[in-house]
Amino acid sequence: MSAAAIIPLQKGKHANTKIKQDPSFAHVSEQHIAPLVIHEFVQAATEYPIIFVKNSESGQFQPVVMLGLKPGENLFVGERWKGIYIPASIGHYPLILVPDAQNPDQLMLAVNESSALVNEEEGEALFTEAGEPTAFTEKAKEKLGRYLESDQITRAFAQLMNEMELLTTKPLAIRLNGQEITLNGVYMVDEQKLAELEDDKFMDLRKRGLLGPIYAHLASLQQVNRLAHMKVQQES
């Protein structure tokens, strides 16, 4: 996504701009993973495997949902999205919050003008005829604000998991067309290490409300079999 295409909303420039809705979310058709924030874990776990990936440059971990079994593959993109829950990182597109150039401590709504969803003919208008933000625009800004807050909490959660040495990399075994294939380089919470935590550390996780997301993540790993089933159906 080119930075030059990210333009802060301006009522003059975007007076007639509309955002077309795309039920297929085709903009992620070649993404096999998508970022996930901690408040989404329980819902997402019913459909997607939730894993952690490690940034090779920063060494930081980030939770993501698996959308395919290999890079460039998204098994959920079709005429419509083949899932009930839409991860927020996917659903917000093509709108984004960026720092205000005049006041970097403040965030303002921007649009990715390179997106095919941005047009002047159909979709949700960004501004009213009077030049005021529409209800759609206000709601999008509110949702993105909550997402960014949750993203900060999620980053702290992933860092804590790493500091507590609870993250480990294990191969994921999948049955595909009668054969077993293995996915390597996947990070997840180590159940044994979690069970062996000292009582005070375990209780601290409980008090912070982190056990729910951890268990949702662990349960979600079974969804790799769902991805395998979707892949078989797609190729048949």
How would you write the pLDDT of the chain (236 residues) with one tens digit per residue? 455 589 999 999 999 999 999 999 999 999 999 999 999 999 999 999 999 999 888 999 999 999 999 999 999 999 999 999 999 999 999 999 998 878 877 889 999 999 999 999 999 999 999 999 999 999 999 999 999 999 999 999 999 999 999 999 988 888 887 778 888 889 999 999 999 999 999 999 999 999 999 999 999 999 999 999 999 888 87
> Which residue, 201, 162, 164, 182, is CA-closest to 60?
162
Separation in Å, CA 228 to CA 178, 182, 184, 221: 11, 12, 15, 12
Q: Give the pLDDT confidence score for residue 23 in this predicted structure.
A: 94
The DSSP symbol for 133 reads B
**Contact in structure between 79 and 58 (CB atoms under 8 Å):** no
Structural domain span for residue 127: 3-235
What pLDDT, on the 0 to 100 scale, is given for residue 1?
A: 46
Q: Give the total number of structural domains in the chain.
A: 1
What residue ranges in the chain does DSSP mark as E strands?
6-8, 18-19, 33-35, 50-54, 61-66, 95-99, 107-112, 118-119, 124-125, 167-169, 172-176, 179-183, 187-189
> If you write DSSP's letter for every residue of 58-125 in order, what string do you get?
T--EEEEEE-SSSTT--TT-SSS-SSSS--HHHHTTTEEEEE-SS-TTSEEEEEETTSTTEESSSSEE
Residue 56 has what pLDDT?
Answer: 85
Smallest CA-to-CA distance from 49 within 210, 211, 170, 177 is with 170
Give this prediction's pTM.
0.91
Give dist(CA 236, CA 219) in Å, integer: 28
Angstrom distance (rounded) from CA 92 to CA 87: 9
